Structure 1
Amino acid sequence: MALSLPRPQRVDVQIAAASLLCGLTLEALGLHSQAYRPFGGHWSLLPLLVLAGLELLRSSRPQFALVGGTLALVADQFTSGNLASILMFTDIVYAAVVYGTPAAARRIPVTTGLVTVAVTVGFLAWFQEAEAILIGFVTGVVSFAPATTGVLVRNHREAAEAAKLRAEQTALLAEMDRAQAVGAERARMARELHDMVANHLSAIAIHSTAALSLDDPGTSKDALAVIRENSVEGLAEMRRLIGILRDHTGDLEPAAAPTLDGLGALVTNARTNGLDVTLDDARTPEGPKLPTPVELAAYRIVQESLTNALKHASPGRVTVALVQEPRALTVRVTSPYGDPSGPRAPGSGAGLVGMRERTELLGGTFESGPESNPDGKVWNVFATLPVDPADEGAKE
């Protein structure tokens, strides 16, 4: 099977060409790194050419280049030597640490360090002269020094890569948080817009249908009065919401969130629109004040339930009941269920979705649907809104 060698990178080709040119120049000038070797003359060109060829693989096959370079350097010791060969070997050692596997990057510095110590001790024992330390020093410069330099460069690159990855992950998480925040804000605005305006538009649709279908001037006049009142109130709500959305400087004061104290006015308005509504508020005035999110959710659930009753309920009484328990506020709205005798407004189901979302955001439970009771079939909306006792105490 033929050995497949990867295509060398441009920087490797440039290093190999420059090193080979330098070595040939030294050889032409007769400058050698050693003397009195078994193979003199131009035998030093052979290791030089091998090392130049291995430089082409310094990035793509660093371990193969290191093994071949070590053998070539050993062979170079039996020739007159070339300084360019030594320099190319140091670059191959450096590249093996920088571009090699993590295991090789850990193993090469240790190995070259042990070789440096072994050469120093061996030549000291052989020569019995302090000058033998110089041989160990040269060995360390040729092998251990480039290996440790490669470790420093590799660690720096890995740290930079890790920092880049962390920055990308942080940017991705920030973008995800931004998208979630935008989605949550859009959902909140959709709920508020639906709850504030749907009631008025439903009343307008129903009474305009009645005015068009009944040939009674008195009834038409009353319907037109209700239509005008709801259109003015709906337009005011829309302008207030649009003003808040368009204000980028924060100069506008935010609209006060509705509270359960406004249920009386809400029920009165529903009666004006034609609903037979009764309010059974079992909360005691002396009881602890509910958290603002709970009051807002309860108010909006009652408001949307009355809107749905106005659009879809059969003739009969609509009942709104609130009960405050130690750890929760329960809201129940029942309305006659069946085929309405009068005009009705179209529905999209967004109201039920909004009520469920408001309840789930507070960790509560929401149920809606038809059921039977002694008075007949009714549509029941039931929500349990948890109340944190700590929040109650903080608001007292």
Structure 2
Amino acid sequence: MTTPSRQEVAAAVAAFAAGLLLLGGGAYVHRGAAVGLFVLPLVVTCCGVALRKRAPVVALVLGAVALVGDVLLGPSLGTVLIVTDNIYAGVLYGPRPLGRIMLWITSIGAIGVGALLGLMVGDWRVPAAMAVQAALVGVVPVTTAIAVRQHRDQAVAERARAEQVARLAELDRRAAVSAERTRMARELHDMVANHFSAIAIQSSAMLARADLDPAATRKIVESIRENSVQGMAEMRTMIGFLREDGEEIEARRHRLSDVETLIARTGFPVELSVGGTSRDLPAAVDLAGYRILQESFTNVLKHGTDRGARVQVRYRPDMVELTVLNDVGARPSGLPGAGAGLVGMRERATLLGGSFEAGPYGSGWRVRVELPTGAAAPAGLFWPARRRAAEPREEVPGEPGGVAPGTARVEREKELS
């Protein structure tokens, strides 16, 4: 048993002093017992007050012993009042089942006291009054303690629920911040890698070739300048998005229909084939398709050959298909890479509920993406990728030939049914 605190000892001393005052005032039943004898049960019940929080069951037992002794002597008002605190503390701070047990004991005790006095006195008014007094001493403290304990438990439960909601909100906030950081990293990678890869490769070509005529040199420098200006413009656009609230993104976003403009800045020959009817796409699909093509061109710059790439864009009723096929060079480009490009392309397709494939294809490398565009297309992260297994896939047209670097040979096919 732990030592009572100063506050509990002070409460016990105050209760003892109050009991002595009531005894001195004659607040006890005079049955011939000496007043000094009433002090003993008073001391016992005050010891229970000192232990009300540290040992509530012991305090309850001390109160019960003091009550029995006091009733045999008189009883006295001070001891009876302090016993009610022992009962209240035992139910409030003691084991939870103790409350139900004490409620039964005190209720049956009050009824039993009334019935016993009724048999002894023969007048129903006396036992009724005594039963009420017994209920005030026993039942009322028990029911009050049970009610207070229920309110405390409810407050603890509500506090725990509020803390849980706060933790969930913090987890949601962290997830949102992480998702936003991932999105920003993906956008920055796609913008910077494309333009700077083109600048690095074109600069390396100028340094490696000493026989370039002024016209070729000027053309390469112009391409370097164009990539630098475009990279700075896209960086400014992203910074503007971060600084401004509520700005309309539709007017400034990249579109898949701008693929020819994107091809014009690649610096290598590209054969473009467009199938189906070009149409307005959802903003997320437009941007994802544009960025996937941009990152694919960056990979062609790093790992492709002078033969460039073949690009196929097919507009279907409920999706758009993108295919980029290129040969793989025998020598590395020397440009650094962290492997984040393929991860970013896969993330873009998955977030829209589409499918993404990238890997060796024949003697080269192929990137193939399906992005759903219909009203029923899923937009969440955990939707499964859509595949058209029953529909035969149409391959990219044949090898490019006679296409100048930075230009596109476009073949528009008839509208798909």
Question: So what's the TM-score if we normalise by structure 1?
Answer: 0.86
Question: Per the alignment, in what secondary structure is the counterpart of residue 370 of structure 1?
Answer: strand
8 Å Cα contact 1:55/1:92 also seen in 2: yes
Alignment of 1:132 onto 2:122: no
Aligned-pair Cα RMSD in Å:
2.4
Tell me, in whole angstroms, the C-alpha distance in 2 between the residues paired with 1:306 and 1:322.
14
Instruction: From 265, 269, 278, give the equivalent of 1:276.
Output: 269
Deviation, 1:122, is: 3.0
What residue number does 1:348 align with? 338
Tell me, in whole angstroms, the C-alpha distance in 2 between the residues paired with 1:278 and 1:111.
94
What residue number does 2:9 align with? 13
Question: Per the alignment, in what secondary structure is the counterpart of residue 348 of structure 1?
Answer: coil
Cα 1:50/1:128, change in 2 over 3 Å: same
**What amino acid sits opposite 1:16 in the alignment?**
A
For residues 213-264 of structure 1, what are the alpha-carbon distances to aligned partners after superposition, in whole Å with 9 as ceiling and x for unaligned?
A: 22224333222111111111111111121122123x54x5435332221122
Alignment of 1:361 onto 2:354: no
Instruction: From 335, 341, 350, give the equivalent of 2:326.
Output: 335
What residue number does 1:383 align with? 369
Question: Per the alignment, in what secondary structure is the counterpart of residue 114 of structure 1?
Answer: helix
What residue number does 1:119 align with? 113
**What amino acid sits opposite 1:101 in the alignment?**
P
Tell me, in whole angstroms, the C-alpha distance in 2 between the residues paired with 1:10 and 1:282.
88
What residue number does 1:143 align with? 138
Question: Per the alignment, in what secondary structure is the counterpart of residue 55 of structure 1?
Answer: helix
Alignment of 1:197 onto 2:207: no
Deviation, 1:340, is: 4.0
**What amino acid sits opposite 2:235 in the alignment?**
M
8 Å Cα contact 2:358/2:366 also seen in 1: yes
**What amino acid sits opposite 2:115 in the alignment?**
V
**What amino acid sits opposite 1:369 in the alignment?**
G
Tell me, in whole angstroms, the C-alpha distance in 1 between the residues paired with 2:94 and 2:190.
64
Question: Per the alignment, in what secondary structure is the counterpart of residue 263 of structure 1?
Answer: helix
Tell me, in whole angstroms, the C-alpha distance in 1 between the residues paired with 2:241 and 2:373.
29
Cα 1:295/1:236, change in 2 over 3 Å: closer
Percent sequence identity over aligned pairs = 40
Tell me, in whole angstroms, the C-alpha distance in 2 between the residues paired with 1:363 and 1:173.
26
Instruction: From 234, 239, 242, give the equivalent of 2:239.
Output: 242
What residue number does 1:262 align with? 258
Alignment of 1:291 onto 2:265: no
Tell me, in whole angstroms, the C-alpha distance in 1 between the residues paired with 2:373 and 2:109.
74
Q: Which runs of 5+ in 2 are unaligned?
A: 379-417
Alignment of 1:156 onto 2:156: no
Tell me, in whole angstroms, the C-alpha distance in 1 between the residues paired with 2:256 and 2:248.
21
Q: What pairs with 1:212-227 in structure 2 (closer than 5 Å)?
A: 212-215=207-210, 216-218=212-214, 219-227=216-224
Q: What pairs with 1:58-77 in structure 2 (closer than 5 Å)?
A: 58-77=52-71
Tell me, in whole angstroms, the C-alpha distance in 2 between the residues paired with 1:325 and 1:266.
22
Q: Which runs of 5+ in 1 are unaligned?
A: none
Cα 1:118/1:283, change in 2 over 3 Å: farther
What residue number does 1:301 align with? 292
Alignment of 1:84 onto 2:71: no
Deviation, 1:118, is: 2.6
Alignment of 1:48 onto 2:34: no
**What amino acid sits opposite 2:239 in the alignment?**
I
Matched pairs, number: 374
**What amino acid sits opposite 2:200 in the alignment?**
A
8 Å Cα contact 1:328/1:384 also seen in 2: yes
**What amino acid sits opposite 1:276 in the alignment?**
P
8 Å Cα contact 1:312/1:345 also seen in 2: no
Tell me, in whole angstroms, the C-alpha distance in 1 between the residues paired with 2:130 and 2:72.
16
**What amino acid sits opposite 1:331 in the alignment?**
L
Cα 1:116/1:289, change in 2 over 3 Å: farther
For residues 91-113 of structure 1, what are the alpha-carbon distances to aligned partners after superposition, in whole Å with 9 as ceiling and x for unaligned?
A: 11111222122222333234322
8 Å Cα contact 1:206/1:344 also seen in 2: no
What residue number does 2:179 align with? 184
Deviation, 1:205, is: 1.1
Alignment of 1:370 onto 2:360: yes
Q: Which moved more, 1:46-55 or 1:115-124?
A: 115-124
Cα 1:60/1:327, change in 2 over 3 Å: farther
Cα 1:289/1:233, change in 2 over 3 Å: closer
Tell me, in whole angstroms, the C-alpha distance in 1 between the residues paired with 2:151 and 2:35.
44
Q: Which moved more, 1:138-147 or 1:160-169?
A: 160-169
Deviation, 1:345, is: 2.7
8 Å Cα contact 1:32/1:80 also seen in 2: no
Cα 1:10/1:110, change in 2 over 3 Å: farther
Deviation, 1:344, is: 4.7
Which protein, 1 or 2, shows the higher relative CO under an 8 Å CA cutoff with sep ≥ 6?
Answer: 2
What residue number does 1:169 align with? 164
